[in-house]
Structure 1
Amino acid sequence: METIQVQSESVPALGLGTWQLTGATCQETVQTALDMGYRHVDTAQAYGNERQVGTGIDAADVDREDVFLTTKLDGSNRSARRVRQSARESCHRLGTDYLDLLLIHWPNTPWMVPVSETIDAMNGLVDDGLVRNIGVSNFSPSRLDEARELSEAPIFTDQVQYHPYWDQTQLLDYCRIHDVLLTAYSPLARGGVLDDPAIVQIGNRYGKSPAQVALRWLVQQDGVAAIPKATGREHLEANLAVFDFELTDEEMERIRSPSKTKTGYHFVRSQLPF
């Protein structure tokens, strides 16, 4: 597993996303992934699966300190009191004494709780040793800049939607300048890359699937980690097999094809029951 150096921290470039994973499936997937070699697991209070993620980590043949574990504050847990209380509740559900990374899941609604209050409380958790790193999710460059200005502890990452159809060039440039990790969720555009002609053609050249090409496109970019969701052993293994080939500069440019239309279409299609 390749790693990325961010703020003196080594982070696995590929992690396991657990959005929409629940119950025994979630627990088994986390355990299988860790036993297979994953060392980066992402969850959130809003996912409702922290307990299952924690059980999966505990059941795996891996030491807790070898796992980079992330969770995110729910929208209702932004006040100073709820930040402190909910982070401890997350640790209890996850069966851990500390979190490697705690994120603000979505930007605060200013008229409810100012982001300064949330970040101050998160800094307190760092001081207490309950949280090793803090960050944000779904923040624009301007919001990320504000968060950095408000925080005593470095903002470690901005976790955002990033795939070949969704341009994050401006954010990535900002992150590289300020030593902030960009963590890509929905890296396969909710399945949209799987039948993309250009990506299929490039994959055929290397004997790789379109999903593997799209993941390689992400992790080959400096300062980018990806957290694809997968449930079956076959898909978990396939996602790991993206470090034994390298895309050319021309292929990297061909894969990058920003399109809000494609992004929206694949999001809507992924929500349909058929």
Structure 2
Amino acid sequence: MATTDIPTLTLNNGVTMPAIGYGVFQTPPEQTIASVETALAAGYRHVDTAAAYGNEREVGRALRASGVDRADVFVETKVWVSDYGYDATLHAFDKATGKLGLDTLDLLILHQPAPDRFDATVDAYRALERLLADGGVRAIGVSNFMPHHLDDLLARTDVVPAVNQVELHPYFQQRAVQEADARHGVLTQAWSPIGGITFYPGWGGDDRRSTLDDPAIAAIAVAHDRSAAQVMLRWHLQQGRSAIPKSVTPSRIAENLAVGDFVLSDDELAAIDALETGVRGGPDPDVPRPDFFAREIPEA
């Protein structure tokens, strides 16, 4: 799979980024090296990890073992809330680059808005601005920010985030977030882009619906001789979003990247849009989570 089959998106500071990235959320460290190497061999040139995933070190090892030039891979990671605050976030960068074995990061984002400690969130973002000015990172952003979080942040900082990574799939489309991001020139990036949170083991209730089993998506998949996952990823691409699918199965890793050579019609896009349920699968960014701050990110 040639990387040129996947579009490149230009962030608001001119940095370019492959629209589809390979995600390693919930991938155990012992599986991460092989999975990332498989993804890079399949043609991925964008890898998304996070301090809280506990596998930054293994992502770095995979990058070095892959033989792919560092300059050709867009590396994105996230600062966890327990490292918020100006000095603590600067140190979080040191921890991340040390584990990844990199001097610079392509994109560094804040993992949560921490609504009950938003001053610390703002201070953390100001540290990202410093890292951007000093050349330690090429772009900065946020994750799970609702429109009011973004407005508050913008009122107290100088650099508009390049990216806002949020839960976004056919059953939960966050249209108000997408509109706010677009208004400010922020790229919306989807985590759980194929609705993984609707079928992850241990997530949701017994009555949950899986996007992979949705009849409307299945019908579109049959029409294009594609999988449901490929249809959902194509939906993201045609609507201008970045998407971070995750799999540890080699065939699915490759399949998720093979979405550059078919096009959904306007009617098909509208049919997927119509699947919105308004039901969030992940944590509510407006609900304080003291337990998040109890999790410390190790030094090495």
Residue 271 (structure 2) pairs with residue 254 (structure 1): yes
Deviations 1:25-71 (A, max 9, x none): 10111111112210111111111000001111111121111111111
Q: Which residue of 2 aligns with 1:149?
A: 155
Tell me if the contact between 2:142 and 2:165 (Cα under 8 Å) persists in the aligned partners: yes
Q: Which residue of 1 aligns with 2:242?
A: 225
How far off is 1:264 after superposition?
4.6
Tell me if the contact between 1:34 and 1:61 (Cα under 8 Å) persists in the aligned partners: no
Trace 1:65-214 onto structure 2 (pairs within 5 A). Answer: 65-111=71-117, 113-190=119-196, 191=199, 192-214=210-232
Q: Distance in 1 between matches of 2:156 and 2:74?
A: 25
Q: How many residues align?
A: 263
Secondary structure, aligned partner of 1:159: strand
Secondary structure, aligned partner of 1:76: helix
Deviations 1:170-225 (A, max 9, x none): 22122223221111001121242211101001100000011111111111102x10
Of 4, 19, 25, which aligns to 2:9? Answer: 4
Once structures 1 and 2 are overlaid, which stretch shifts more, 116-125 or 204-213?
A: 116-125
Tell me if the contact between 1:136 and 1:157 (Cα under 8 Å) persists in the aligned partners: yes
Tell me if the contact between 2:41 and 2:66 (Cα under 8 Å) persists in the aligned partners: yes
- In the superposition, the TM-score normalised over structure 1's length comes to 0.91
2:233 partner amino acid: L
Q: Which residue of 2 aligns with 1:32?
A: 38
Tell me if the contact between 1:187 and 1:215 (Cα under 8 Å) persists in the aligned partners: yes
Tell me if the contact between 2:76 and 2:105 (Cα under 8 Å) persists in the aligned partners: yes
Q: Percent identity?
A: 39
Secondary structure, aligned partner of 2:162: strand
How far off is 1:112 after superposition?
7.3
How far off is 1:236 after superposition?
0.9
Q: Which residue of 2 aligns with 1:269?
A: none
Q: Which 4+ runs in 1 deviate beyond 4 A?
A: none
Q: Which residue of 1 aligns with 2:261?
A: 244
Q: Distance in 2 between matches of 1:125 and 1:225?
A: 23
Q: Distance in 1 between matches of 2:257 and 2:242?
A: 13
Q: Distance in 2 between matches of 1:112 and 1:150?
A: 11
Point out where structure 1 has 5 or more consecutive residues left out of the alignment.
266-274
How far off is 1:114 after superposition?
3.0
- In the superposition, the TM-score normalised over structure 2's length comes to 0.84
Secondary structure, aligned partner of 1:231: coil
2:99 partner amino acid: R
Q: Which residue of 1 aligns with 2:294?
A: none
Deviations 1:75-104 (A, max 9, x none): 110011210111111001001001111111
Tell me if the contact between 1:35 and 1:61 (Cα under 8 Å) persists in the aligned partners: no
Secondary structure, aligned partner of 2:255: helix
Q: Distance in 1 between matches of 2:156 and 2:40?
A: 35
Tell me if the contact between 1:100 and 1:131 (Cα under 8 Å) persists in the aligned partners: yes
2:77 partner amino acid: T
Q: Which has the higher contact order (CA 8 A, sep 6+)?
A: 2
Secondary structure, aligned partner of 1:149: helix
Tell me if the contact between 2:37 and 2:66 (Cα under 8 Å) persists in the aligned partners: yes
Point out where structure 2 has 5 or more consecutive residues left out of the alignment.
1-5, 200-209, 283-300
1:211 partner amino acid: A
Residue 54 (structure 2) pairs with residue 52 (structure 1): no
Once structures 1 and 2 are overlaid, which stretch shifts more, 132-141 or 103-112?
A: 103-112
2:263 partner amino acid: E
Q: Distance in 2 between matches of 1:96 and 1:150?
A: 30
How far off is 1:111 after superposition?
4.1
Q: Distance in 2 between matches of 1:21 and 1:44?
A: 11
Tell me if the contact between 2:15 and 2:138 (Cα under 8 Å) persists in the aligned partners: no
How far off is 1:153 after superposition?
2.6
Residue 26 (structure 2) pairs with residue 20 (structure 1): yes
Once structures 1 and 2 are overlaid, which stretch shifts more, 30-39 or 147-156?
A: 147-156
1:40 partner amino acid: H
Q: Distance in 2 between matches of 1:264 and 1:150?
A: 30
